[in-house]
A and B are shown apart, each in its own frame.
Chain A
Amino acid sequence: MKEITILIVEDEAIIRMGTVHMLEDAGHRVVEAANADAAIEILEARKDIRVVLTDIKMPGALCGLRLAKVIRDRWPSIHLIVASGLSAPAERQIPKNGRFIRKPYTAQHILEALADLLGPNPAPYRYSKDVIQNYGKIAL
């Protein structure tokens, strides 16, 4: 996959570090933020971010889903991946063309979502393959 810049928004330092390594090992440039406010500051300052991967449950004024919605409105060309340890949120809560991955995730989960989002024909659904399999009842 072509090298891109990805912003990781995660309040838990060790998870953030691990995720940075997963993406750096896959050859991407990574920028990190510990909360939604910091993420928005970064997005306002730089123009090279193609994808934002955000945790849903974070302290601060904006949770990950709200942050994702703000990004979809202000920077519509940025791809979104939201992650949570909880059951998949309702499809309507995930911004259009966003993806949901479940914690704990591995590098494969993120890379699959990235390949799909950046590929020529992104699938219309918003859940990673793994989630679909585990949540057979989710209607696509």
Chain B
Amino acid sequence: MAPQASSHPNVALNLALAVVASSTAPLLLLKGDLTLVGASKSFCSAFGIDPARVPDKPLRDLGAGEWNVPQLNVLLKATASGLADIEGYEIDLHRPGKPDRSLILNAQKLAHGDDDNILLLVSVLDVTDARIAEKLKDDLLRDKAVLLQELQHRVANSLQIIASVLMQSARKVQSEEARNHLHDAHQRVMSVASLQHQLAASAAGKVELRTYFSALCESIGASMIRDHTKLSLDIDIDGSVTSADESVSLGLIVTELVINALKHAFPNDRAGKIRVGYHSQGSNWTLSVTDNGVGMPKEISRTKTGLGTSIVQALAAQLHAIIMVGDANPGTTVSLTHSQISVVAIANDTVPADRAI
């Protein structure tokens, strides 16, 4: 094809014009003096140009003169003289009575073996709509961040209100037992708040248990341990990461078991320590709270089931975990174990959760 085309210049030009005209991407074909040779139909329809009036028109006279952009002319002339190509040059097209368009231009001198008749091919990409969509997306993302902040603020304030009401009730009640219950309730609220902080700081609702339990124990210790030289609360947690739902249950279980140990394991100012452990392998995990206190009463059936125990049992069932209470010699270990085997056992109801504790 090529030798034939070069021997018939008009055929070659017509072919080039036909190719340009049919391009779906807006294209202009220019001579070295920046008069138009042709334009694609897509260009004419996108920018409201009559195709019949394109040939031989200087670029500066195209349309109502909106293509007469001095900086563009300089660049196109430089391209025609072979000094540079235009790559990704951005202009705003101002048209009288119509909204501005943001364009990205690319231009290059065509190497067609005829240095006397310089030809430039200019492609015009209209990015106005893409830019608007991009801005809209940015605005939406910003709105979303603002909403999320607003929500975080509201959650924290609501928790603070609940905590305030509980503490003020605790100040007012006469009964020591009622006051203790209100303090426990306050601690439960603060445990949920502690998770809320973790979630706000984490990505995609995943919670790193070591960080969370460390903050949680710090919070429980600060409000419930009076003499830190006598009682210590520490953690032994692997690098497990869990979902928000699972961590809120695990956090509440830890809260109950630690409160329970603080209340019962160390009577008469007995010194000791409590350790919270969590280890997982695949989908199997074990959570434990161990103290070196006085141990459990021998006849467990005679002690009344407290709210704490009910909470732990309900959450353990929700997590498909089996509760075991063991002697830690001295002291007590309460552990919750979730394994594929225990899930099957619970499903078959062979080991009811309330028998295990």
- In the assembled complex, which residues on chain A have CB atoms less than 8 Å from the CB atom of B164? 14-15, 17-19
Task: For chain A, residues 11 to 42, give those with C-beta under 8 angstroms from any C-beta of chain B.
Answer: 12, 14-15, 17-19, 21-22, 25
| Interface segment, one of A65-73, A84-92, A119-127 | A84-92
Q: How many residues of B contact A (CB 8 A)?
A: 31
Is A48 in contact with chain B by the CB < 8 A criterion?
no
Q: Which residue of A85, A108, A130, A133 contacts B160 across the interface (Cβ within 8 Å)?
A: A85
Is A60 in contact with chain B by the CB < 8 A criterion?
no
Task: For chain B, residues 166 to 218, give those with C-beta under 8 angstroms from any C-beta of chain A.
Answer: 167-168, 171, 189-190, 193, 197-198, 200-201, 211, 214-215, 218
Q: Which residue of A15, A106, A133, A134 contacts B161 across the interface (Cβ within 8 Å)?
A: A15
Question: How many pairs of A and B residues are in contact by the CB < 8 Å rule?
Answer: 80
Contact present for A15 and B219 (CB under 8 Å): no
Q: Which residue of B162, B198, B215 contacts A130 across the interface (Cβ within 8 Å)?
A: B215
Q: Which residue of A15, A21, A130, A136 contacts B171 across the interface (Cβ within 8 Å)?
A: A21
Q: Which residue of B154, B171, B214 contacts A133 across the interface (Cβ within 8 Å)?
A: B214
Cα–Cα distance between A117 and B189 once the two chains are bound (Å): 28
Q: What DSSP secondary structure best describes chain B's contact surface? A: helix
Task: For chain B, residues 131 to 167, give those with C-beta under 8 angstroms from any C-beta of chain A.
Answer: 149, 152-157, 159-165, 167
- In the assembled complex, which residues on chain B have CB atoms less than 8 Å from the CB atom of A108? 222-223
List the interface of chain B (C-beta within 8 A of A). 149, 152-157, 159-165, 167-168, 171, 189-190, 193, 197-198, 200-201, 211, 214-215, 218-219, 222-223
Known: A14-B164, A17-B164. 9 other contacts (CB 8 A): A15-B157, A17-B168, A21-B168, A85-B153, A102-B156, A104-B156, A104-B193, A106-B222, A134-B197
List the interface of chain A (C-beta within 8 A of B). 12, 14-15, 17-19, 21-22, 25, 57, 84-87, 102-108, 130, 133-136
10 A-B pairs whose Cβ atoms sit less than 8 Å apart in the complex: A12-B160, A57-B153, A85-B157, A85-B160, A86-B153, A87-B201, A104-B159, A104-B190, A130-B219, A134-B215
